[in-house]
Amino acid sequence: MSDLDLATSFSNLWTEITCPNCKIANRIRLKEILIESSIICRGCYKDFHLVQADASGFRSKQLMQQLQEEIEKLSQQLTIRIGF
């Protein structure tokens, strides 16, 4: 799995964001946080802008890259044994 595939997989995961106005949970994809999009609340229909606090998106990308490197190291150490 390439870095791009891993990043795409993580960015397509779903999470919930609570509306600052009505406190209803709204499902969004992680990529919407990374690109700081605006979403419309399913409860009160007001829109609000997603903003990353403290460059968390950058840290998330770094963590995904580290995870990919660890997965690659582990996959190189794997041996497949077939026994009956």
Encode pLDDT of 29-39 as tens digits: 888 887 888 99
- Averaged pLDDT, 17-43: 89
Q: Which of 50-54, 59-63, 64-68 has the lowest mean pLDDT?
A: 59-63
Contact assessment for residue 39 and residue 32, using Cβ atoms and an 8 Å cutoff = yes
Question: Which uninterrupted H or E stretch holds 70?
Answer: helix 56-77
The pTM of this model reads 0.53
What does the pLDDT read at residue 46? 95
Among residues 17, 74, 68, 13, which one has the least CA distance to residue 47?
17
**Which of residues 37 and 45 earns the better pLDDT score?**
45
What's the one-letter identity of residue 74? L
What does the pLDDT read at residue 50? 82
Q: What are the start-end ranges of the E strands in 1-84? A: 14-18, 25-29, 38-40, 47-49
